[in-house]
Structure formats: C-alpha cells, structure tokens
Amino acid sequence: MANYRRDVFLVAGGAIAHTFGPVTSPMYLKELRVHVSAAPTTSENFTLTLRSVDGAEHDLVIYKIDLSAASTTDIFNTDFGMLLLPGDELAVSYINTDGRTIGVQLIFS
C-alpha cells in the first residue's frame, strides 16, 4: 500500500492523553486500531476528537466507546474516510483507571 501514514503509540498502565498533529498537509483518517491488554471493568470512555484548525467551536468527537460496557479489548474501525486539513489535530483520550496496557494505531492516507 503506497502513500499511507500512521501514528502508533503505547500506554502501559496510565491515562491516554495523546495528540496527533497539527497536520501539515491534507490527509484522510482511514482506520482506528486499539488493543487493550484485558477488558476494563471501570466505566470510562475511550475518545477520539477532532481539534479543528477553525477553532474550538468546530471541534467534534468522532469516536467514543465505553470499553467496559462490552468488555472490549479490540477495536478495528474503518468507517472514517475523514479529511483532515492543515492545522487540524486528533486527540485520543482515556482515563484508564484499571491500569491496562493499551496500544493504539491511527492510519492515514
């Protein structure tokens, strides 16, 4: 697969407060991949948020899931196809009270 880009990070036991960007040239968010070492038991949302170059009034949550609700350990979402403009950022957040190890990949084209 040519011309793809990815942002990969791992959090071992702590909170996720990760920002990708700001984007320097237009690109599309294609996939979100997440693996959690064990299903969380504390109700908390894993959230992916667009921080718009146009200001906070244009920010939006593009993906949110309570990982404990369905004992979620894996996410593979290809439903994005979202254009990111220069200056946009993506913020990934999760409190992670249960202290799980979490690997996250954001795939772009």
Is there a domain that residue 62 lies in?
A: yes
Q: What is the mean pLDDT of residues 9-37?
A: 96
3-state DSSP: the chain helix, strand, coil percent, rounded to 5?
Answer: 5, 55, 45
Other CB atoms closer than 10 Å to residue 6's CB: what's the count? 13
Is there a domain that residue 35 lies in?
A: yes
Predicted local confidence at residue 2, as pLDDT: 57
For the chain, the average pLDDT equals 95
Other CB atoms closer than 10 Å to residue 2's CB: what's the count? 4
Helix (H, G, I), strand (E, B) or coil at 56: helix
**Which residues span the domain enclosing 30?**
18-87
pLDDT band, residue 66 (cuts 50/70/90): very high
Domain count, the chain: 1
Is there a domain that residue 99 lies in?
A: no
